[in-house]
Amino acid sequence: MLEIIAAFFTICLFGLVTVGSIALVLIILMRKGIKQNRLNDSLPVETIRATVKSNAPIRLIRPKSDRRVFVTFETEKGDMKFSFSPRKYSALELKVLKNGDVGTLHYQGTRFIDFVKEQLETGHDENRDTYQDPE
């Protein structure tokens, strides 16, 4: 009987440690995100000429709906990579951007604000699109 109680106590203790560890990791990640948002909020919105370097979904080893999409812009300050959830990526219609598209990138710290493609010299206005973050 004592062995059963000891085994039960060990299992409960293991469960508490596991749940506590998961909770601690979640709290740390939340604090990191909040800290980054506050830092972004304190920075000015910057505008820079940029070229779309890569615009493709990154397939992670996760369920399809949990994929992240990264868009990399080449700027005079170096490459800038922004991460989007698939839902936000579709809402922003960034998927219509092509590698090599040139335009004006607006960002605030690590936060994407928008990207405006430059108009082609042909005067064709459909290439002057704004891709603004709906938030």
99 Cβ contact list (under 8 Å, min separation 6): 52, 53, 54, 55
For residue 134, pLDDT beyond 80? no
Give the tens place of pLDDT for each residue, 55-107: 765 554 445 556 678 889 999 989 999 888 777 777 776 667 788 889 999 99
Name the residue ranges covered by the structural domains of the chain: 1-42, 45-132
pTM over 0.85: no
**What SS3 state is found at 58?**
strand
Closest C-alpha among 117, 118, 112 to residue 133 = 112
Domain 45-132 carries which CATH code? Answer: 2.40.50.660
